A and B are shown apart, each in its own frame.
Chain A
Amino acid sequence: MLKNRDIISILDFTKEEISYVLELSKRMERESSADMLKGKILANLFFEPSTRTRLSFETAMKRLGGDVIGFDDPDKTSTVKGESLKDSVKIIEGYCDIIVLRHFLEGASRLTADTVNVPVINAGDGASQHPTQTFLDLYTIKNTKGRLEGLSVGFLGDLKYGRTAHSLAYALAHFNSEMYFISPPSLRIPKDYIEQLQLRGVSYYEIDSLFEVSGKLDILYCTRIQKERFADPVEYEKVRGVYKLSRVVLDKLKIGNDLKILHPLPRVEEMDESLDTTEYAVYFQQAHSGVPVRKALLAAVLGVFQ
């Protein structure tokens, strides 16, 4: 189904394709063989540093028997000599079967996919898309809840700049989610995104506090509130406390145990470690899902499943 497809943006995927990727991911947990991608070479091109994403792609490829080449320090590459991205990737495609790209410029992956013939996977481009993250978020939700259809999902924190939240919301729009956008007024989800969700018929609510909805939620997706976003440090201090999750806060909310909390990590202080051992926390499980999900995408794109 996905042979030779580029994985650039979650917007490119239909509901059926998303479900297919999640099924394959599940299958990869059980029966991925060590020679599925034998003889295939992945080029990991990281123009911006990353550890978790890069390593999980590397692990996924190697577990399926493939090889990995690449770099994660663009200072040492010809980019510093002024080579254009198009030229770089045109040359590199001759060395590999698939390109995984992380770049600081938004849209760099789309440009790469338009330029080369080998399939391209976007591993995050600036503040833009990071589709494999969205797939693993969906996978975690499906695994912990047993379904994606008809869930009530809260998005908490920085919804203005938090692109992982935007992408997840777009994807969940296929699955009749009810969405609660919980943020300080200054960090509301941009109007454009709301319009897109409206076009997709999503029912949503914009609210200030988790206390208004806690009982209704199946999933709470937290994002980091970054200090740099605030011109006024006093403003930051005000919202910081309100959106900090801890065991005490959750006890106060009297939430049922079936609420699951996700976070794309790394967290800074918006989520207290006291939560880690509770039934709510699934964010480490979420981080580990990176490997089966990326295995599934690599195998599908490289044509293992006909």
Chain B
Amino acid sequence: MFFNEKLEVSAIKEGTVIDQIASKSTFKVANILDIQNIDQVVLIGVNLSSKKLDKKGIIKIGGKRLTQEEVNKIALIAPDATLNIIKDSEVVRKFQVAIPDTLEGIVKCFNPNCVSNHQTIQSKFHVLVKKPIKIRCHYCERLMGGDDIELV
């Protein structure tokens, strides 16, 4: 299913194209979208050349519209990603993913002693810096950076 961008197979009629993914994060983004269980056409490309990034990945999904939660998660894993909405084979909307100011139920606190890991509550983080990402747990106040982030 891998494709070269120039190949015709990469075109979809309706759907979403996630572009400008840092190449090494492509499969993490695919996991967020649970792509294995989608019935629609999915095209994944990695190590493609890019003007902005060193090597980029692309995921093209026929039909699928992303939820806000999925977009928030993608923003954490691939902060440079752009979303392109395709209709009738044309890009009708294009936007940059953005990290929200608070992250609820998305990231797991890395502090084993944090109350959010022991009671049935959603994790919650305040985003202090978006790039490079730095977040603070609402509960235990520990600071986490990009390397510490694990999605729930």
* Contact A111 B139, beta carbon cutoff 8 Å: yes
Residues of B within 8 A of A125 (CB): 115, 140
Return the chain B residue nearest A127 by Cβ.
B113
Known: A84-B120, A86-B121. A108 touches B115 (CB 8 A): yes
* Contact B119 A129, beta carbon cutoff 8 Å: no
* Contact B120 A107, beta carbon cutoff 8 Å: no
Known: A105-B114, A126-B113. A111 touches B121 (CB 8 A): yes
Q: Mark A270-302, 1 if CB is under 8 A from B, else 0.
A: 000000000000000000000000000000000
Chain B CB within 8 A of A9 CB: yes
Known: A85-B115, A126-B113, A127-B113. A106 touches B121 (CB 8 A): no
Kindly provide the distance from the CB of A20 to the nearest chain B CB, expressed in whole angstroms: 23
Q: For the complex, give the distance between the alpha carbons of A60 and B145 in Å.
A: 41
Chain B CB within 8 A of A117 CB: no
Q: Mark A98-119, 1 if CB is under 8 A from B, else 0.
A: 0000011111101100000000
The dominant DSSP class at the A interface is mixed
B118 interface neighbour in A105, A110, A192, Cβ under 8 Å: A105
Q: How many residues of A contact B (CB 8 A)?
A: 21
Known: A126-B113, A127-B113. A106 touches B139 (CB 8 A): yes
Q: For the complex, give the distance between the alpha carbons of A108 and B139 in Å.
A: 7
Q: For the complex, give the distance between the alpha carbons of A104 and B115 in Å.
A: 9
| B: contact size bracket | 10 to 19
Known: A85-B119, A126-B113, A127-B113. A107 touches B143 (CB 8 A): no
* Contact B121 A11, beta carbon cutoff 8 Å: no
Return the chain B residue nearest A128 by Cβ.
B140
A106 interface neighbour in B120, B134, B140, B143, Cβ under 8 Å: B140
Return the chain A residue nearest B109 by Cβ.
A107
* Contact A111 B143, beta carbon cutoff 8 Å: no
A192 interface neighbour in B114, B116, B143, Cβ under 8 Å: B143
Known: A84-B119, A86-B119. A105 touches B113 (CB 8 A): yes
* Contact B141 A9, beta carbon cutoff 8 Å: yes
Residues of A within 8 A of B134 (CB): 192, 195
Return the chain A residue nearest B143 by Cβ.
A192
Residues of B within 8 A of A186 (CB): none
Chain B CB within 8 A of A196 CB: yes
Q: Mark A122-136, 1 if CB is under 8 A from B, else 0.
A: 000111110000000
Residues of B within 8 A of A129 (CB): 141
* Contact A128 B141, beta carbon cutoff 8 Å: yes
* Contact B119 A106, beta carbon cutoff 8 Å: no
Chain A CB within 8 A of B111 CB: yes
Return the chain B residue nearest A8 by Cβ.
B141
Residues of B within 8 A of A196 (CB): 143
* Contact B119 A111, beta carbon cutoff 8 Å: yes
Interface centre among A84, A107, A125, A196 (most CB of B within 10 A): A107
Residues of B within 8 A of A104 (CB): 113
Residues of A within 8 A of B116 (CB): 107
* Contact B138 A106, beta carbon cutoff 8 Å: no
Q: For the complex, give the distance between the alpha carbons of A14 and B11 in Å.
A: 55
Residues of B within 8 A of A84 (CB): 119-120
Q: For the complex, give the distance between the alpha carbons of A129 and B114 in Å.
A: 12
Q: For the complex, give the distance between the alpha carbons of A195 and B140 in Å.
A: 18
Chain A CB within 8 A of B107 CB: no
Q: Mark B111-143, 1 if CB is under 8 A from A, else 0.
A: 101111011110000000000001001111111
Interface centre among A9, A106, A125, A129 (most CB of B within 10 A): A106
Q: What are 23 residue pairs bridging A and B, where the CB atoms are less than 8 Å apart in the complex?
A: A11-B141, A84-B120, A85-B115, A86-B119, A86-B121, A104-B113, A105-B115, A105-B118, A106-B115, A106-B140, A107-B115, A107-B138, A107-B139, A107-B141, A108-B139, A110-B115, A110-B138, A110-B139, A125-B115, A126-B113, A192-B143, A192-B145, A195-B134
Query: 6 new A-B pairs (CB below 8 Å) besides A11-B141, A105-B113?
Result: A106-B111, A107-B114, A108-B115, A111-B119, A126-B113, A192-B134
Interface residues of A (CB under 8 A from B): 9, 11, 84-86, 103-108, 110-111, 125-129, 192, 195-196
